[in-house]
Amino acid sequence: MSSHFHKLPPLLSQIKNHQDLLDIPDAKLGQLAEEIRETLIQSLSVTGGHLGPNLGVVELSIALHRVFETPTDKILFDVSHQAYIHKLLTGRAEAFHSIRQHEGLSGFMKRSESEHDAFGAGHAGTALSAALGICKARDLKQEDFNVIAVAGDAAFTCGTTLEALNNISQSTKKLITILNDNEWAIDKNVGALAKYFNSLQTSETFSWLRNKTSNFIEKLAGTPVKEFAQNLEGTTKSLLFPSILFHKFGLRYFGPIDGHDIPNLIRTLNYLKTLNEPVILHIITEKGRGYQPALDDPSKFHGLGAYQINDGTTKTSTKPTYSEVFGRTLLSIAKEDPTVVAITAAMPSGTKLEYIKDALPKQYVDVGIAEEHAALFACGMATEGIKPYVAIYSTFMQRCIDMIQHDAALQKLPVKFCMDRAGLSADDGPTHHGLFDIAMLRSIPNLMMMQPKDEAEFVNMIHTMNAWNDGPSAIRYPRGIGLGVALPESPEILPVGKAEVEQEGTDITLVSLGSMISLARETSRALEAEGKSVTIINARFIRPLDSETICRYAKQSQLVCTFEDHSIVGGFGSAVLEALNDAHIQTPSLLIGWPDQFIEHGSESILREKYGLTAPHVIGQINSIIKPNLI
């Protein structure tokens, strides 16, 4: 856990519970907001984290906790990376310096961390469905508490959000949904709803309407609730599309109002909690508010590592990241092949498809936060001879499994699924680790799946994927920089299903997948220093697996050891065991990977040491199986 600690400012340091927040005079709530922003900027400059989203919801979070009392009332965030202020206001301010550090606070809401965290989620589109489920349970048990779902406008590009909207009016009579409209997810929002919300914000009518709403709220302070409601609702009725849209879903629509005006927010929320019907409050916020570098570059400051407070600069590496290698390589292919189309689910900068977006906009599609749609959309394109590349983080590609199996593989459509951040995602924790994609995908017929050992092999694999037309293909690659090897000037097409034997030995066979080759090589050097003869196989392909090569060396070895940056349950090592079993080879085996559990957040070095993914741990396990007298 990080040892840095910034002394909490005076008002924030007083808040240990709900009553402490209520004891702060109304006139000082603006000061509290500034103290919270100062704490966010100072602390996250050391730990990194989701700065921009949280700077945008400071006033909203204060108002929510002023009006509602958790844990009795339930507040859900979509996505819960915007719950940092919620943590500060629910007794966790003194531990805030530990956020995203091993054994410290999570960067997301986490039920096991605090009773105030009603629902933990790191993926978009979860809040409305979960909130509606809580409402239904409350109603069934005849209890009485408030449920508030805070959803960014980007969440409304999610299929699950729209499915929940379709179900609200028939499931509960009391739910408050807050549409936090700031035009951004990780990147600029796309799609019809986002376009419409944006057009509202930039229109003269909208500016007049927002001011009119705020004036109504100010003037109506102390008026009867019924009159207040009629006037507030009347500011939008028959004038704005959202009012009509949400009315069709059975929700009364209020707003839009300024999401940074604490008194108006409190006044509005106090009224809305008196209603016995589902409502939606549309607020306008500014992502990155109060910190100029975050305002200048919302995409970068959505989530980042440590930075310099004065100008927002971060450490850079001369080595390209795997994402950058992917983006540049695909751009070079797309320039030569107009049938190549790059598809992202609202993450052009994270996946580096922004290179294609800028250079070849006609060969680029952003579908919004809608991974399932992205996969099925790609399948449709593939039926017409297009080569669609769907680039999505491994943790979000999980949502596409149905489409990969039912639509791509069953019909042998050559869709290219590119899984960024496969393996450990370190400080983000269990919602973002890409440790389950192999287990989910490797049982699907007609699918080709691979992982490169370094950047050079990655380039070759992308070209191999481009040439593969016998069905869908998938490639998984890790977060961050590679080994720093030179990229090939003339990429080659790899023989599908064929592993690479890096070195030959007679005693122990090490079968490595992807970037785990570094650990395999380190393990080999240590074993050789003990007098053991070692084979190293770079598997390259998960499916089809090169069973022939692996079994050939396994027969002559005393032990087969597999390495993967993935859960060992159902993963690459399991595939090797199946191959050995099918060939009736009884050589002892050792599987090195992540254990059968959700791995917490923390630095990669700490987690690898804790779970035994280091050379000393591996060598100790090998020597416990292979006794010296057997070699």
How does pLDDT run across 494-524, given as a tens digit for each residue? 999 999 999 999 999 999 999 999 999 999 9
In this predicted model, what pLDDT tens digit does every residue of 89-116 receive, in sequence order? 999 999 999 999 999 999 999 999 999 9
Q: Can the peptide bond before residue 430 be classed as cis, meaning omega within 30 degrees of 0? A: no
Edge-first strand listing for the sheet containing 364-366:
364-366, 340-344, 387-393, 416-420, 473-476, 448-450, 541-543
d(CA 40, CA 150): 20
Q: What is the Cα–Cα distance from 313 to 309, expressed in whole angstroms?
A: 8
Looking at residue 32, what is its pLDDT?
Answer: 97
Q: Which of 37, 92, 287, 387 is catalytic?
A: 287
pLDDT at 257: 87
Q: Which of 115, 114, 176, 109 is nearest to 147 (CA)?
A: 176
3-state secondary structure of 133: helix
Q: pLDDT for 426-460, tens place per residue?
A: 889 999 999 999 999 999 999 999 999 999 999 99
User: Whole-angstrom Cα distance, residue 493 to residue 612?
Assistant: 35
* pTM listed for this prediction: 0.88
What residues does each domain of the chain span? 10-302, 322-476, 501-630
pLDDT band for position 380 (50/70/90)? very high
Task: Note whether 421 and 394 are within 8 A (CB).
Answer: yes
Catalytic choice (357, 399, 416, 532): 399
* Amino acid type, 243: S
Check whether 185 has a pLDDT greater than 60: no
Architecture of domain 501-630: 3-Layer(aba) Sandwich (3.40)
Amino acid at 431: T
SS3 443: coil
In contact, 364 and 342? CB cutoff 8 Å: yes
Whether the pLDDT of residue 259 is over 60: the answer is: yes
Mean pLDDT of 259-275: 94
Among the listed residues 35, 59, 371, 457, the single catalytic one is 371
Mean pLDDT confidence for 189-207: 50
CA distance 219 to 343: 49
DSSP 8-state class, residue 404: I
Can you tell me the distance from the alpha carbon of 467 to that of 465, in angstroms, rounded to the nearest whole number?
A: 5
Helix (H) or strand (E) holding 391: strand 387-393
Of the chain, the end-to-end C-alpha distance in Å amounts to 42
How high is the pLDDT of residue 626?
87
Strands 387-393 and 541-543 turn out to be unpaired
Going by C-alpha positions, the residue among 571, 465, 559, 468 that lies closest to residue 513 is 571
The enclosing H or E element of 366 equals: strand 364-366
Q: Are 61 and 85 in contact (CB under 8 A)?
A: yes
Phi, psi of 610 (to 5 degrees): -65, -40
* 488: Cα within 13 Å, side-chain hemisphere: 15
What is residue 497's DSSP assignment?
T
The CA distance from 113 to 218, in Å, is 38
* 371 noted as active-site residue: yes
* Whole-angstrom distance, CA of residue 407 vs CA of residue 384: 14
Query: How large a percentage of the chain has pLDDT more than 70?
Result: 88
CB atoms within 10 A of CB 188: 16
Query: Is 328 marked active-site?
Result: no
Burial (CB < 10 A; 0-12, 13-18, 19+), residue 53, is: buried
**CA 443 – CA 440 distance, rounded (Å):** 7
Contact criterion met (CB below 8 Å) for 325 and 487 = yes
Whether residue 514 contacts residue 478, with contact meaning beta carbons closer than 8 Å, is answered with yes
Whether 219 is a known active-site residue: answer: no
pLDDT surpasses 70 at 375: yes
If one looks up domain 322-476 in CATH, what number appears?
Answer: 3.40.50.970
Superfamily name with CATH number, domain 10-302:
Thiamin diphosphate (ThDP)-binding fold, Pyr/PP domains (3.40.50.970)
The pLDDT of residue 317: 82
Q: Token pair for residue 315? A: 């450490």
Which two three-digit tokens encode residue 305? 């590592």
| Residue given tokens 């691979």 in the structure block | 450
Q: Do domains 322-476 and 501-630 have the same CATH topology?
A: yes
